[in-house]
């Protein structure tokens, strides 16, 4: 029996909508990462993008468990001396709440060119409105 390897142009992609309102951030990110990578598909191939498109709405209403809202730290560095930027989820939520979900999902996919291609299929929106109704996305329920 030969080993099956999916081809990028043969993959049938679906669109899913995940409502993040009052859901734990990590649980939403796990389900989104699994859908983006295509891990639940029988044609999953590690070196090929076999995943689906994921639209996450209500990113501003996502919850963090425990004391992560004030104690977790997001750090980035500008490249200049003394310019290390530190931000808590509370400050990030005030500035741009979509980034909370994007950072969580980005940490769960491969950190290479394939991961960047996979991450481009993630669409995160603050409210309930999104411009992807024409793709007829299915509602995906996070437990």
- Of the pLDDT bands very low, low, confident and very high (cuts 50, 70, 90), residue 101 is very high
Domains in the chain with CATH codes: 14-63+98-139 (3.90.1180.10)
- 1 or 61, which is more confident: 61
Mean pLDDT across 8-25: 96
Mean pLDDT across 81-98: 96
- Of the pLDDT bands very low, low, confident and very high (cuts 50, 70, 90), residue 19 is very high
User: DSSP assignment of the chain, as one string?
Assistant: -PPP---GGG----EEEEE-TT-BHHHHHHHHHHHHHTTTSTT--TTS----EEEEE-GGG-B--TTHHHH--EEEE-SSTT-EEEE-HHHHHHH-THHHHHHHHHTTS-SSHHHHHHHTTEEE-SSS--S-GGG-PEE----
116-127 pLDDT, tens digit per residue, is: 999 999 999 999
pLDDT of 28 strictly over 90: yes
- How far apart, in whole angstroms, are the C-alpha atoms of residue 128 and residue 58? 6
- How far apart, in whole angstroms, are the C-alpha atoms of residue 111 and residue 118? 10
Mean pLDDT across 107-111: 97
pLDDT of 143 strictly over 90: no
pLDDT of 63 strictly over 90: yes
pTM of the model: 0.93
10 Å Cβ neighbour count for 108? Answer: 15
Quick one: pLDDT at residue 130? 97
**Could you give the percent of the chain with pLDDT greater than 70?**
100
């Amino acid at each position: 029996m030969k080993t099956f390897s999916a081809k990028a142009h043969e993959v049938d992609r679906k669109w899913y909508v995940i409502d993040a309102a009052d859901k734990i951030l990590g649980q939403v990110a796990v389900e989104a990462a699994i859908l983006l990578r295509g891990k639940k598909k029988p044609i999953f191939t590690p070196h090929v993008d076999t995943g689906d498109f994921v639209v996450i709405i209500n990113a501003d209403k996502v919850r963090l468990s425990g004391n992560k809202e004030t104690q977790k730290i997001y750090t980035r560095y500008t490249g200049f001396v003394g310019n290390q930027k530190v931000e808590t989820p509370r400050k990030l939520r005030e500035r741009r709440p979509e980034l909370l979900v994007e950072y969580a999902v980005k940490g769960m996919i491969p950190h290479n060119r394939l991961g960047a291609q996979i991450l481009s299929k993630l669409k995160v929106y603050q409210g309930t409105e999104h411009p992807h109704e024409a793709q007829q996305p299915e509602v995906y329920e996070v437990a």
